[in-house]
């Protein structure tokens, strides 16, 4: 179908399911074990209700914000997803260009399908970079120095929720190759190892995770600080104690995330972790940027997170599916979300998202225990 016919993100998902190879679909859609966390990520959001306010004069609304010095037209960023070209040849390049033309920001994945320098070249202004700390620390250090020197990267997201590869059963079962793309070029710590050994089993995820260092711990922050002066964001926080620890150690931000349900199954949907922060450590909200991802598919989902103090919301799978349509696909996803955010703001009586949104607009009792 033509892009104009896709009126929400579920339509796009449906097209991806019908169009991509079974192997590609299994890699992107797949999650851990019973997919419980994956399914509940989105479902739980639907059990948070609004308390719309009327008579607020909502003709004009503002949803722009600033994140790590980057002005965003909407509080949306592209979450890092490995090997984006599995869904379309331009992969990360389409994300970089589409993010720029849409006034949002992309996160370049460590395990990219295009060489890092090509993605940076396709990035007009700015991006975030996602790092997996590799067993080969020198390789991680080299890539951190390259992205820092580029001047385009505004924060480094260090992913810590997948120290080992989870059990991705759909991915392991799916037969066949991941199309003709050759994922994991030189920007990846797995490039050489993966191409040398080939997949140990059917699972693409299992192949990609091999080089991630499971020994990473809090004490590695000092090493990261010594090789870059960029803001550091801990991606994959799933309990309030770790949010407090990240704040105390001086991380500039955290991402509340369960890796789209691809890390520990039965880990909580991140919106529940956000509520846990409100109950247990409200001091973290002023101290660092609180980002969130997992299951956000509607403008209204995004507004709920902003009402609960999130600085911005990331989307992973939708921006993989969108590269089936190249840069325009990325733009279409952002257009749909901006339109949904705007309409929802008007319907619930919020004119200025970051000045006005608060928990007062929500009923969370169905999910908040």
x/- string (CB under 6 A) for ligand FNR, residues 280-319?
A: -------------xxxx------------------xxx--
191 contributes a contact to ligand FNR by CB under 6 A: no
User: Is residue 228 a contact point for ligand FNR (CB under 6 A)?
Assistant: no
- Residue 159 is a binding residue for ligand FNR (CB under 6 A): yes
Q: Which is nearer to ligand FNR, 53 or 335 (CB)?
A: 335
Which residues 6+ apart lie within 8 Å of 264 measured at CB?
A: 32, 37, 161, 166, 238, 258
Of 109, 189, 231, 268, the one binding ligand FNR by CB under 6 A: 109
Q: Does 130 engage in binding with ligand FNR (CB under 6 A)?
A: yes
Residue 170 CB, nearest approach to ligand FNR (Å) = 11
Check 29, 90, 161, 293 and give the catalytic one: 161
Residue with tokens 């995770």: 209
Neighbours of 360 (CB within 10 A): 9
Over the window 237 to 266, marking each residue x when it contacts ligand FNR by CB under 6 A and - when it does not, the resulting string is --------------------x-xx-x----
And the tokens for 270? 């991140």
Query: Which distant-in-sequence residues (6+ apart) come within 8 Å of 282 by Cβ?
Result: none
Strand ranges for 192-297 from DSSP E: 232-237, 253-256, 289-293
Distances (CA, A) of 208 to 7, 83, 191, 281: 34, 9, 9, 35
For residue 150, the minimal CB distance to ligand FNR (Å) is 19
Q: How many contiguous H segments (helices) and E segments (strands) does the chain have?
A: 17, 12
Q: Is 79 in the site for ligand FNR (CB under 6 A)?
A: yes
Question: Angle 326-348/299-307 helices, nearest 10 degrees?
Answer: 60
The residues that are catalytic are: 132, 161, 259
Provide the binding-site residues for ligand FNR, judged by CB under 6 A: 27-28, 41, 79-82, 109, 111, 130, 159, 235, 257, 259-260, 262, 293-296, 315-317, 320
């Amino acid at each position: 179908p033509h892009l104009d016919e896709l009126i929400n993100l579920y339509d796009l998902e449906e097209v991806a399911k019908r169009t991509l190879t079974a192997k590609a679909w299994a890699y992107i859609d797949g999650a851990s074990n019973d997919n419980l966390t994956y399914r509940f990520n989105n479902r739980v959001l639907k059990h948070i209700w609004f308390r719309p306010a009327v008579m607020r004069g909502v003709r004009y609304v503002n949803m722009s914000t600033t994140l790590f010095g980057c002005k965003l037209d909407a509080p949306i960023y592209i979450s890092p997803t490995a090997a984006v070209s599995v869904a379309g040849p331009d992969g990360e390049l389409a994300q970089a260009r589409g993010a720029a033309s849409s006034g949002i920001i992309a996160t370049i994945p460590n395990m990219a399908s295009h060489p890092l320098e090509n993605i940076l070249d396709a990035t007009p202004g700015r991006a975030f970079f996602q790092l997996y700390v590799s067993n080969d620390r020198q390789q991680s250090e080299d890539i951190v120095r390259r992205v820092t020197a580029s001047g385009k990267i505004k924060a480094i997201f260090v992913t810590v929720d997948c120290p080992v590869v989870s059990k991705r059963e759909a991915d392991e079962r799916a037969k066949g190759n991941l199309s003709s793309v050759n994922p994991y070029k030189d920007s990846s710590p797995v490039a050489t190892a993966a191409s040398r050994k080939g997949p140990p089993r059917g699972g693409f995820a299992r192949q990609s995770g091999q080089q991630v260092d499971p020994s990473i711990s809090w004490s590695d922050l000092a090493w990261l600080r010594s090789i870059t002066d960029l803001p550091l964001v801990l991606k994959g926080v799933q309990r309030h104690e770790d949010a407090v620890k990240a704040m105390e150690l001086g991380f500039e931000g955290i991402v509340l995330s369960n890796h789209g349900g691809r890390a520990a199954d039965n880990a909580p949907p991140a919106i529940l972790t956000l509520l846990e922060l409100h109950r247990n450590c409200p001091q973290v909200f002023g101290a660092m940027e609180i980002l969130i991802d997992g299951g956000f598919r509607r403008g209204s989902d995004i507004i709920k997170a902003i009402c609960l103090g999130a600085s911005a919301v990331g989307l992973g799978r939708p921006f993989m599916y969108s590269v089936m349509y190249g840069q325009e696909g990325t733009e279409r996803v952002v257009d749909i979300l901006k339109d949904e955010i705007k309409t929802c703001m008007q319907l619930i009586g919020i004119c200025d998202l970051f000045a006005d949104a608060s928990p007062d607009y929500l009923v969370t009792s169905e999910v908040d225990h």
